[in-house]
Structure 1
Amino acid sequence: MNMGALVDADSLGTFDYVIVGAGSAGCVLANRLSEDPSISVLLLEAGQKDDWRWIHIPAGTFYLFGHPRFDWCYSGAPEPMLDGRRLPLSKGKVLGGSSSINGMVYIRGHAEDYERWKRLGNSGWGWQDVLPYFKKSERQSRGSDRYHGGEGELYVEDLRTHWDIFDDLVQGAASLGIPQTSDFNRGDNEGCGVMQVTQHRGRRCSAAAAFLRPALSRSNLHVLTGATATRLRFNGKRAVGVEFIRDGVVQTVSTRREVLLSLGSIGSPQLLQLSGVGPAAMLQLRGIPVRHELPGVGANLQDHLSLRFSYRMRNVSTLNEQFHSLPRRALMGLQYLLRRSGPLVMGAPTLGGFTRSDAGRVKPNVQFLIAPMSMKMPEKILNRFPGVSGGIYNLNPESRGHVHVRSGDPLEAPEILHNYLKHEDDQRVAIDSVRLIRKLFASEALAHTEPEELLPGPDARSDDEIFAALKLSCGTAFHPVGTCKMGGDTMSVVDERLRVRGTSGLRVVDASIMPTIPSGNTNAPTIMIAEKAADMIKMDSRILMECEEMSL
């Protein structure tokens, strides 16, 4: 990596662009902006290199979540509607960010998600506006077409393993009116099938592997790991640099053009608040001088709450019994070593479906994911009997939370409150979702497997009983968005070009700018945002240079 003598200096000097955060968005920005050799780019990352083997083996996801070397290991605030439970919140702390530890599912969301963004005052963010940027990144293994790209850096492939139980589940879903599909990414994601993954021949294709690594040979791109950003430096309302800690030493870097925040929906509002940009009353209460009042910073937090379910099965093969057999575990290893296939290519549950929790919904409003395995909890040990498990969640929750710093200490984790299930409609969707999953497992296609419900529990029958049971077994889907939302109202943090309102030289480019959460996994939309942002940044820079030349 291009770090050279910069590492030991108290000040790293000046770059055209300083990108803070080498996650999905930051890696894309670093690649696209450094394409111009006349532009200097510095990418700061608090984590380390992505050089552990289990990052690149898809099944390594299970070792990465909760590992302090690669995960920030946040803990949410007590959730009022979940009886005060604190949910563990994983976020990547490594080159590639969460794309280096996630389940690799490639989902863009529904076309209506982006039309809604446009209706909220964000011109240029409708479905037809963003589709070219999804395609630009994508290297689709099935080839390019109207909806898919074939020449991008991000490999998108079919899962290189198969389970017979998936066929039964797809048939069961079809009997409920959920059609079989092989493509969830054409704008209408309704259906059930095995979802595609961001992998290349059975290896994880993170944002670091796809976008950052090919750009590291460029002399104008510098990457610094182990650098935790602590504050933004301003001249008036203009961002002029970043302060960070590396190896216990405070260092600074300056920028000629812009600081680009790509720290995600927790890190970006946290850094803004630490720098005095945010809701004035909250900052003053924490003893942080207010530089620029922007009440929406940290507000509007949205996430997908996963209502977890688990079933004991019979007359079918699942990963459970294979894992507990030494010969079959050895076979799994051989499959992966020789063919890059088999159970080790699985990250998150990849059999999925999008449907409606009730007939009155205009578009699919719930997503379910199912894995061919089940666990004994809380030990997180695979059961010895055949089983399947998964989660179902409300794609468009109405509940909103926040991310607030607890103090001016940049090394103290912020308060993260989601307010899961606070809204009455979210409660209704949750109860209906549990009943929907029960219908799926009660379908004729699954009768031969004799499914036995383990979670949320067969004794929960009434609405009140179901709600009480699901509160104890639910967990996050790790899709936080919205805390620096894009829009034109008083709670918006960035405009449609992702510039922080009321400042200059400062943008936010990550999932935090999403005004509402997309219908599905959020990694692909985050990469799309960075692709579009890179083009806007380049265009704005050209316009500024032309204006400066005309003034001369």
Structure 2
Amino acid sequence: MKFGATPIAALVASLLLPLASSIHILPDSNGALSLQDSYDYIVVGAGIGGLVVANRLSEDPTISVLVIEARDLDDRAEDVSIPGNIGLEDPRRYKVKLDLAVQEFLDGKERVISQGKVVGGSTIVNGLVWTRGSMANFDAWERLGNPGWGWAGLLPYFKKCEKYTVQPSNRPAHNFPMDVYPVIEAHGNKGPVEVGYPNYYYNQSCNFLDGIQELGIPVNEDPNSGNATGASLIPSSMVAKNQSRSDARIAYLDPVLNRPNLHLVTGHTVTCILYDNDGATFLNSTYIPGASGLNMIGVEFAANSTANKIRINCEVEVILAAGAIFSPVLLQISGIGPAKLLGNLGVDIAIDLPGVGSNLQDHPTLQPVYKYTSPDVFSAWDIVGSTRDAVREEYFTNRTGPWTAPMVDIIALPALSWVTDDLQEWLDEAMNTTNNLPLFYDETLHAGYLAQRDEVISMLARTDTPAYEVMSTSWGQLGVSAMQPLSRGTVLAKSSSMFENQPIIDPRFCSHSIDCKLLLLALGFNDQLIQTSPMAALIPVAPPGFGIADARNQTMVDEAMRSIITSGFHLSGTTSMLPIDLGGVVDSSLTVYGTRNLRVVDAGIIPLLPAAHIQAALYAIAEKAADIIKAGN
């Protein structure tokens, strides 16, 4: 939204009170907020990106930072902090439901997913899995036109964000199901996010690991050192000493609550980014890197659709960190995005930028539960009644027992050549199969997709990057995900109002057929796995449609599979860090093309989804972004 020469502060003076000394600013009895009339940096969103950047920028006491978050602080209750409660929390507390569009390449039905809506974002509700991905995943980012964003450029930030602990000093030796010999020089030991291992492992974790090896998949003792393939005991984002969740809030916000130059407003939604460019419209075809562009002068926000809108000045930069769904939507309703979409929304076009909301990527996932019927099996499902009371008491007394175990602690990431004898046929099919890209993709987005496709196919040919993931959970799932997806989707604003926006989110799962073919391969691997002697000892019962007998009818299995494929909760790419002629939205400094002082720091900037759970990468991205912002200003 263009905002002219009238001083913003004058328009909001009646709404503002004197500067508050507390970082967490709440409305007074009249609904007014005690804010400065301007800040050096305004950060939109308090997830990983927002909290990391706000923490690092406010290290300079002369710099003022305002963070605006739509939801509130969590209450640190047991369903949040205890690893054993993952997946059992009340979803209404800190999650928001999002509808996915009809999935035409699956079963023609909609999906509903959720994501964290709370200070700390999805780190408050995620599964704690701490995997980085392979060296090749990030080197591909650099080859796609992002100097400094390869493995070598990101490794210092992977290390900077983490405090990695194999064995807490106050605990006896872990009963690990496998040896853990990390590459110590690849890990950090002083970072804000604690990364460690639980004090308890379910017996079936050992069976899974032994069965995987029986199928010829090697053990990888440190999947975070640059080579991700193999079967691994994975670390979690958890405090080793007290076996509790380590999230973005406790890592990057709580320790700096005494900084008077860092303010957090919760319960308010940013409705528009304000700019002043004297009415000029930026055309992507004329963009010159380094040239002057739109000047962001602040943001507009409100508590709800009927509340007074508040406008705050920004002296240096606005930093979007609202996530891969809401950052592109906010850009679109602020006038930055595909011209046709903005016109349909009735939004004035400030920057015609086709990539905003395109290039959506995710790991398509299905989670069949193989019920273990052996009487000797104890799983998370058995923690009920008096057993739950005993497990709870053990946790709070000794910080040991099943409640220290997260939902996922062992995974297998096979390279494609390990699970098929027809590698070249797969690669040829991936190259030659036409992807059903969205009809409105322009030539830059098509060019960007082809560059990404070549990188993905190159990685599928390697032995240090996986084709899919198999996750063993604490209650019996053998969940599978395609880790190098070739399908691409979109996120489009439905309304010009953030309060009326249920975005049109369409990941377009399996619009490239190779993704579903990889998932079928993974299910076939599961069939082999449950027949190995270690897994057979659990007496597993496959879910309907996925049994060994069913496997003979691939058409039936494919149909059953497509009905349950959903999000892997790793949505990314919608504000991609790519050259503008490849459909990019931000450059390698994370600055939005055509602007002087607007950046994006969240999963949306990921140009190519790494073959990993993405929270570790997001922390590294945000740490690197903070250094880039400091250096640039």
1:155 equivalent to 2:174? Answer no
8 A Cα contact 1:309 1:456, kept in partner: no
Count of paired positions: 525
Give the match's secondary structure for 1:309: coil
Give the match's secondary structure for 2:552: coil
Instruction: Choose the corresponding residue for 2:253, options 175, 196, 212.
Output: 212
**Separation in structure 2 between the aligned mates of residue 64 and residue 289 of structure 1, nearest angstrom:** 42
Cα deviation digits, residues 420-467 of structure 1 (max 9, x gap): 011021122121111011111111222222222115532353332221
8 A Cα contact 2:163 2:191, kept in partner: yes
Structure 2 match to 1:474: 565
**Superposed displacement of residue 356, structure 1:** 2.5
Structure 1 match to 2:401: 342
Instruction: Choose the corresponding residue for 1:451, options 506, 523, 540.
Output: 540
Structure 2 match to 1:441: 530
Structure 2 match to 1:305: 364
**Superposed displacement of residue 63, structure 1:** 4.2
Give the match's secondary structure for 1:229: strand
8 A Cα contact 2:57 2:630, kept in partner: yes
**Separation in structure 1 between the aligned mates of residue 74 and residue 35 of structure 2, nearest angstrom:** 26
8 A Cα contact 1:311 1:455, kept in partner: no
Instruction: Choose the corresponding residue for 2:516, options 417, 427, 436.
Output: 427
Matched residue type, 1:55: V
Cα deviation digits, residues 15-44 of structure 1 (max 9, x gap): 010110000111111111110001000111
Instruction: Choose the corresponding residue for 2:106, options 78, 82, 89.
Output: 82
1:500 equivalent to 2:592? Answer yes
Show structure 1 runs of 4+ deviating over 6 A: none
**Superposed displacement of residue 198, structure 1:** 0.5
**Superposed displacement of residue 132, structure 1:** 0.5
**Separation in structure 1 between the aligned mates of residue 86 and residue 494 of structure 2, nearest angstrom:** 30
8 A Cα contact 1:240 1:255, kept in partner: yes
Matched residue type, 2:301: F
8 A Cα contact 2:164 2:196, kept in partner: yes
Matched residue type, 2:215: L
Give the match's secondary structure for 1:123: coil
Structure 1 match to 2:619: 527
**Separation in structure 1 between the aligned mates of residue 370 and residue 531 of structure 2, nearest angstrom:** 11
- Which piece of structure 1 moves more, 40-49 or 419-428? 419-428
1:354 equivalent to 2:413? Answer yes
1:49 equivalent to 2:73? Answer yes
**Superposed displacement of residue 249, structure 1:** 2.8
**Separation in structure 2 between the aligned mates of residue 348 and residue 271 of structure 1, nearest angstrom:** 34
**Superposed displacement of residue 11, structure 1:** 7.2
- Within a 5 Å distance, the mapping from 1:157-306 to structure 2 comes to 157-200=196-239, 201-236=242-277, 237-246=294-303, 248-306=307-365
Matched residue type, 1:156: V
**Separation in structure 2 between the aligned mates of residue 64 and residue 310 of structure 1, nearest angstrom:** 19
8 A Cα contact 2:25 2:265, kept in partner: no
Q: 1:298 to 1:337 in 2, by over 3 A?
A: same
8 A Cα contact 1:12 1:252, kept in partner: no
**Superposed displacement of residue 91, structure 1:** 1.4
Structure 2 match to 1:322: 382
Q: 1:96 to 1:455 in 2, by over 3 A?
A: farther
**Superposed displacement of residue 6, structure 1:** 8.0
- The structure with the largest strand share of the pair is 1
Structure 1 match to 2:291: none
- Which piece of structure 1 moves more, 477-486 or 76-85? 76-85
**Separation in structure 1 between the aligned mates of residue 590 and residue 630 of structure 2, nearest angstrom:** 13
8 A Cα contact 2:468 2:519, kept in partner: no
**Superposed displacement of residue 321, structure 1:** 5.5
**Separation in structure 1 between the aligned mates of residue 410 and residue 627 of structure 2, nearest angstrom:** 35
Specify every segment of 5 or more residues in structure 1 that has no aligned partner in the other structure, as ranges: 374-387, 542-552
8 A Cα contact 1:10 1:251, kept in partner: no
Give the match's secondary structure for 2:477: strand
Using the size of structure 1 for normalisation, the TM-score is 0.92
**Separation in structure 2 between the aligned mates of residue 259 and residue 502 of structure 1, nearest angstrom:** 14
**Separation in structure 2 between the aligned mates of residue 390 and residue 290 of structure 1, nearest angstrom:** 47
- Which piece of structure 1 moves more, 312-321 or 84-93? 312-321
**Separation in structure 1 between the aligned mates of residue 203 and residue 111 of structure 2, nearest angstrom:** 33
**Separation in structure 1 between the aligned mates of residue 596 and residue 405 of structure 2, nearest angstrom:** 44
- Which piece of structure 1 moves more, 241-250 or 338-347? 338-347
8 A Cα contact 2:406 2:474, kept in partner: no
Specify every segment of 5 or more residues in structure 2 that has no aligned partner in the other structure, as ranges: 1-21, 168-182, 278-293, 424-460
Q: 1:43 to 1:4 in 2, by over 3 A?
A: closer
**Superposed displacement of residue 254, structure 1:** 1.3
- Indicate the structure (1 or 2) with the bigger Cα radius of gyration: 2
**Separation in structure 2 between the aligned mates of residue 321 and residue 59 of structure 1, nearest angstrom:** 11
Matched residue type, 2:238: Q
8 A Cα contact 2:391 2:402, kept in partner: yes
8 A Cα contact 2:44 2:68, kept in partner: yes
- Within a 5 Å distance, the mapping from 1:533-552 to structure 2 comes to 533-541=625-633
Give the match's secondary structure for 1:116: helix
RMSD between superposed Cα atoms in Å: 1.8
Give the match's secondary structure for 1:22: coil
Matched residue type, 1:166: S
Matched residue type, 1:393: S
Structure 2 match to 1:382: none
- Within a 5 Å distance, the mapping from 1:84-99 to structure 2 comes to 84-99=108-123
